[in-house]
Amino acid sequence: MVIIALVLLSALLHASWNALLRLETDKDRSLVVAIAFAALLASIVAIVRYGLGQTAFPTAASLWWTLLAGGLEWIYFWTLAIALERGKLGVVYTISRGGAILVVYPMSIALFTEQLTLLAGIGSAVVLGGLTLASVASSDTRAGRRGAVGWAVACAVAIAGYHLAYKAALREHGGPSAVFALSLGAASAINVVRVGATGRQVIGTLLRGRLLRLMLMGAICGGSFLILMEALAAGGAGFVLTLRNTSVLFAVGLAFLIGERPGRAEISGAALVAVGAICMAWPA
């Protein structure tokens, strides 16, 4: 029950910072700033826990898996910013999170010997139905005409990849907060280089004008992932990611709060992804 509570809290926080990002005018650079603050928060937590005796990276494998997760996190943040620039929150969130489920679950079975159940198979089919509806919603609202669905799919693959890399690092006994701090720090460093000199000037402007808002977004993002890491260390990768992606329902609710008007297909698609996720995460 503790793991389930942690995962659901992480899901709510995750949907919340995505909704805040959707409201930003310059989503790419705003995300770069927010992630840097999230990395700073994670680093502080990791240092405190190291001081309390938690080992950070006891093996070389735990370090390399963490750096791989950082690269995949960077791809995730980059594709997420583009997808939210082009599509609605509910559609992008449903496709990216639901699509990740379909990638992670079979990979978790193959790599980490998690169990495949009949209910999980049914849940996969339900998730697929939800993603189909979300894609239809994207076409109906013209969100998909600028490539939002394609970027959301790319985002889903990155999400699946970094979750599997995180789980591998934790299986090598990497400290959860240290793993996340280094991963997010690496992703932040790549982002700062990627945006170039012009982008860094824009970031300076954002820091002067929107500092508190971006710090809040970073704190919510960092808190969401730190909680996820604790749950991931204790539970299976497929189970944790699948259950966490019930956050698509939170995202649809938040879409109303930020002024979007999700249609029936969008709401139904998110509901199906959530129901399918619950089926896949249900104990055997």
Q: Residue 262 and residue 164: Cα distance in Å, rounded?
A: 31
| pLDDT number for residue 143 | 46
Query: pLDDT, tens digit, for every residue of 250-271?
Result: 998 999 999 988 888 888 888 8
Low-confidence ranges of the chain (pLDDT < 70): 1, 113-116, 137-146, 235-238, 283-284
Query: pLDDT, tens digit, for every residue of 211-235?
Result: 999 999 999 999 998 898 888 777 6
| pLDDT number for residue 186 | 95
| pLDDT number for residue 163 | 87
| pLDDT number for residue 118 | 78
Q: Residue 63 and residue 65: Cα distance in Å, rounded?
A: 6
Q: Residue 246 and residue 249: Cα distance in Å, rounded?
A: 6
Residue pair 249/107 in contact by the 8 Å Cβ criterion: no
| pLDDT number for residue 236 | 67
**Short-list 166, 147, 149, CA closest to 244:** 166
| pLDDT number for residue 267 | 87
| pLDDT number for residue 1 | 65
| pLDDT number for residue 138 | 63
How long, in residues, is the chain?
A: 284
